[in-house]
Amino acid sequence: MDRIAKGQNVKGQSKNNDGSSRIILDEVAHTLRGLYGTTLDDLVVERLVVGVFFVGVKLSNGCAGVAYTPPEAIRNAGNRILKEHTPLIRGMRAAKVMTGESAGPFAGVIRLATLNALSVPFFEDGRYRVDTSGDLSGIPSLFRNRRVCVVGAIIPFLKRLKELGAAEVTIIDRKEETKVEAEAGYGTFVLPERTAETLARCETAVFTGAAIANGSIEQLINFVPADAAIAVVGPTAGFVPEPLFRRKVASVGTVVVTDSDQALEILAEGGGGYRLFGTCVRKINLINVQRLRELGLDGF
């Protein structure tokens, strides 16, 4: 579900939660500190799994969060692991990890998973407009009769877009299997080098949560026209949505981990997002009602 296209990190774009994503995550941390107050200081990291595809964090309150592990983080980890000595994160205060104070080659994605775990309690207290229909297709007005650009392919979602009656679907992704799917009738495959020009003509842009993990999210948002809708989708985007809503994201399709121990066991065995679905996570849509009204799409 969280896959990112090669070429999104254009020249000068930072990676691995630096730059724009770090700013967004700082805003998430600030929001969570306000929501928790002093009770945040009682929470610690109970378990951490750095998996092949996802990182998982379980907190002492039982809540868990997952986040996509960028391939470049894995590639760059070897030398750092050999040279660096970093403290164990298990047992560390969640507030310290949340603010980015932990070290190590996977510190950024561990922080992101921790923010997601900390956000879980606030998705069920009536604070946000939450749609539980299953995925972003539960908001058909975002896609019906609109030019849609999907950056980072989500194959089941592409199939659903065809059913929803999108006027045009453009797919930006580096994987050959995605190109095969596009040629099978789900959309038009576009080379990553054309990301900016393709997004500039879309009416709805869909970004995977991997854009947050690899630091490209802000630049992608800036490529989208002011009158277009933006959706972010994937388990990695499972944090309180205020920072994305401020950037005019209309909907965040993400997950809540419902069985923390099982989720971390799956990740520890090298499992990815698809193994989590239907077993230990529940899909939700966090809806920016104000933005949908601005776009005239609030009749979902």
CATH hierarchy code of domain 1-300: 3.40.50.11590
Helix axes 107-119 and 19-36, enclosed angle (nearest 10): 30
46 vs 179: CA distance, rounded Å: 41
Listing from the earlier edge strand, what are the strands of the sheet with 188-190? 129-131, 281-287, 251-257, 229-233, 204-208, 147-151, 168-172, 188-190
Q: Which residues of 189-208 are buried (b: 16+ CB within 10 A; e: fewer)?
A: bbebeebeebbeebbbbbbb
H or E, element range at 157: helix 155-164
pLDDT tens-digit series, residues 240-295: 999 999 999 999 999 999 999 999 999 999 998 888 987 999 999 999 999 999 99
- Determine the residue type at 140: P
Strands (E), 124-219: 129-131, 147-151, 168-172, 188-190, 204-208
Give the angle 27-105-208 at the CA atoms, nearest 5°.
Answer: 50
Which residue type occupies 239?
F
In the chain, pLDDT over 70 holds for what percent of residues? 88
pTM, 2 dp: 0.89
Q: CA gyration radius for the chain?
A: 18
| CB atoms inside a 10 Å sphere around CB 248 | 17
SS3 assignment, position 169: strand
Every domain of the chain and the residues it spans: 1-300
Per mean pLDDT, which of 17-26, 31-40, 185-194 is the most reliable? 31-40
Per-residue pLDDT tens digits for 29-85: 999 999 999 999 999 999 999 998 999 999 999 999 999 988 877 777 766 555 556
Mean pLDDT highest for which of 3-7, 28-32, 74-78, 128-132?
28-32
Q: CB atoms < 10 A from the CB of 184, how many?
A: 10
Strand order in the sheet with 54-59: 45-50, 54-59, 64-68
